[in-house]
Chain A
Amino acid sequence: MSDRRDGAPEGAGDDGDDATDPSPDGGHASATPSTHTVRLELVDEPGQLLAALHPIADNGGNLLSIYHERGNKTPRGRIPVEVDFEATQERFEGIVEALRSEGVNVMQAGTERYAEEVTLLLFGHLIDTDLSDTLSRIEACESASVADVSLAAPQGTEEASSARLRVEARAGETDAALAAVRELAEEKELRLVEPLMGVEA
């Protein structure tokens, strides 16, 4: 949060960098830039950080600080990075959009969370019950999309096989996404191994 409130009369003349503020008493001055914090999740490879910063600068964000938590890992083994920048609310939304369309996982922006991810296992007669139908029906569910699938069918297609799915859900809709997968698994008589949510420690 910016601590630069509306200019108090005594201090109004000392710097002048808030001279553009047209509504000194608050109002919805969407043109006023304020400080935003986004938390990103980066793959530990050269160039990733720079690639993540471009969408911010290119969309009118004024970079303030970058906290690259190299010693830390997210539950998926990636590097969390916290970026502070100044932007108007309108531009901020564009920046988050741009980051996501560049494939950067925005874990947190302001107080909102985006792209929650869950990994789950399915096992049973995955192939006999039409795996691609299973996946497209998860995709069809509004709150979820399948980001990644790994299949293991050690005994060929006739026997029981297993799949690991990485499912992305919209902010706050992980439970709905899981419920949809659960229902689908039940219908197809597949077994679902759900993650233990919120217990990553």
Chain B
Amino acid sequence: MKLAVVGAGAVGRSVVDLAGEYGHEVVAVADSSSAVVADGSSGRGVGVDPDAVVARKAERGIVGDADPADALAADYDALVEATPTTLGDAEPGFSHVRTALERDRHAVLANKGPVAERFGDLRELVADSAGDIRFEATVGGAIPAVSTVEDIEPGHVTAVRGVLNGTANFILTRMAAEGLDYDHVLAEAQDLGVAEADPSFDVDGTDAALKCVILANVLSFGAADGPADAREFTLDDADVEGIRDVPGSALRLAAEDGRTVRLIGEATGETVRVAPRLVPENGTLAVTGTQNIVQIETTHAGRLNISGRGAGGPETASAVLGDVGRLE
């Protein structure tokens, strides 16, 4: 497939870098201010040179000399939307996806905003388009959460829960293991690049909540007879508590009793909840460090657990490229 990649952060760059390995060709790349579009004049195999894109981005802060709009207008089969997640109207990501669908092209999202905040709008656009959307990379990075739920069929999934934010999990793991307090471990996480300078999105539970909202939409729309019968979820429907004020003493008390605390997100077709929860210390959900886990409760297939890397450029790009493969 011919891909246009919008967004040149860690995920976008990894998609550009790895697409060839998966048998796809990148014909355009855009970041917020620039773009490069393959001229395609001689027909086959004239994609964008991934190394040149990465080098230009590193050296000059741009991906090419073209305008971002040129990438959106390029001759691609699927648009990869990997711009940063925005809330509310989820722009500009939402418009990028709309452009692709209105041109009857597919869109693959790594950006959580449009699927979490405007799922109903996206479904309407898909209904009128020959293109489709996929968004595996928005939930749990490399973990195939969305496609597993789809394979089981949302009507046969009663709940999806898990640890969906590596930063919060890293902090809770280190606090429990080292007996350190939140501020100390956060500083350590920032030094290691595990937490951002402003960690609010992760430690306040917003990121995990967006992922659960997306799962709730998958469950709700997947189980409904038609889109009109489905309940749409947005971040406002989520009940969210973060880990910022969890004291070290609470983790010690939990450990004395063979338990620990994890930031657990839960989605059903009716509710979305993210909160620190007590779980058995050696239990399945008590993954350590930046690991994520997704646990799926089903009506006929029992409980499924999938753990793995919930973030990272190549890891998330592998989910994006898996989606691209499913659209072929």
Contacts and interface: CB of A to CB of B under 8 A. Distances in A.
Interface of A: 75, 77, 119-121, 123-124, 150, 152-154, 160-164, 191, 193-196, 199-201
A199 B264 CA distance: 12
Nearest 7 CB-CB pairs, A to B?
A152-B249, A162-B250, A164-B253, A162-B249, A195-B278, A123-B250, A196-B277
Name the residue among A120, A121, A160, A164 with the largest chain B CB count within 10 angstroms: A121
A160 B182 CA distance: 13
Contact of B264 (A120, A191, A196): A196
A120 B278 contact: yes
12 contacts: A77-B258, A119-B278, A152-B249, A154-B248, A162-B250, A164-B253, A191-B241, A193-B275, A196-B277, A196-B279, A199-B295, A201-B283
Chain A binding surface SS class: strand
Contacts of A119: 257, 259, 278
Interface in B281-300: 283-285, 295
A194 B276 CA distance: 8
A124 B256 CA distance: 19
Chain B binding surface SS class: mixed
B278 A150 contact: no
B261 A121 contact: yes
Contact of B253 (A162, A199, A201): A162
Given A123-B245, A199-B295, 8 more contacts: A119-B257, A150-B253, A152-B250, A164-B253, A196-B279, A199-B283, A199-B285, A200-B283
Contacts of A161: 247, 249
B277 A195 contact: yes
A119 B245 CA distance: 20
Given A163-B253, A201-B303, A194 B277 contact: yes
Name the residue among A119, A150, A161, A162 with the largest chain B CB count within 10 angstroms: A162
B63 to A, nearest CB: 44
Nearest to A124: B245
Interface string B229-246: 000000000000100011
Given A123-B246, A123-B250, A200-B283, A193 B256 contact: no
B252 interface: yes
Contacts of B258: 77
A160 B285 CA distance: 27
A198 to B, nearest CB: 9
Nearest to B283: A201
Nearest to A75: B280
